[in-house]
Amino acid sequence: MAAAAEFDVQYVAHLARLNLSETEQQKLGEQLRGILAYVEKLSEVDVSGVEPTAHAVPLTNVVRPDVAQPSLTNAEALRNAPAKANGLFIVPKIVE
């Protein structure tokens, strides 16, 4: 298992699109190194030949007929938008 010491908070925060202050980075780094050291205990377990469990339901590939059904109206979908105009979400400029 990977060593907890390699853990780079700043890099992971970037992957998670999460701004952290320097104080937060320091505190989180310390706490997470502790938690990662704790979860290292899983490396003791012999998992050879064991299938992973993604969920505990005896179901696979639940599908429904490909038929359009009523869903939220445009106004309902935009109701909670932080910025909107002309029936659309407003976002910062993406393409120059």
Which positions lie near another protein, rule CB under 8 A?
1-2, 7, 9, 12-21, 24, 28, 31-32, 34-36, 38-39, 41-45, 47, 50-59, 62, 64, 72, 76-77, 79-83, 89, 91-94
Nearest distance, CB of residue 7 and another protein, angstroms: 7
Nearest distance, CB of residue 3 and another protein, angstroms: 10
Residue closer to another protein, measured from CB, 52 or 87: 52
Nearest distance, CB of residue 19 and another protein, angstroms: 3
Residue 29 and residue 7 in contact, taking contact as beta carbons nearer than 8 Å:
yes
Element spanning 28, H or E:
helix 22-39
Residue 10 and residue 25 in contact, taking contact as beta carbons nearer than 8 Å:
yes
What's the number of CA atoms in the CB half-sphere (13 Å) around residue 42?
Answer: 10
| Phi then psi dihedrals of residue 89, to 5 deg | -80, 140
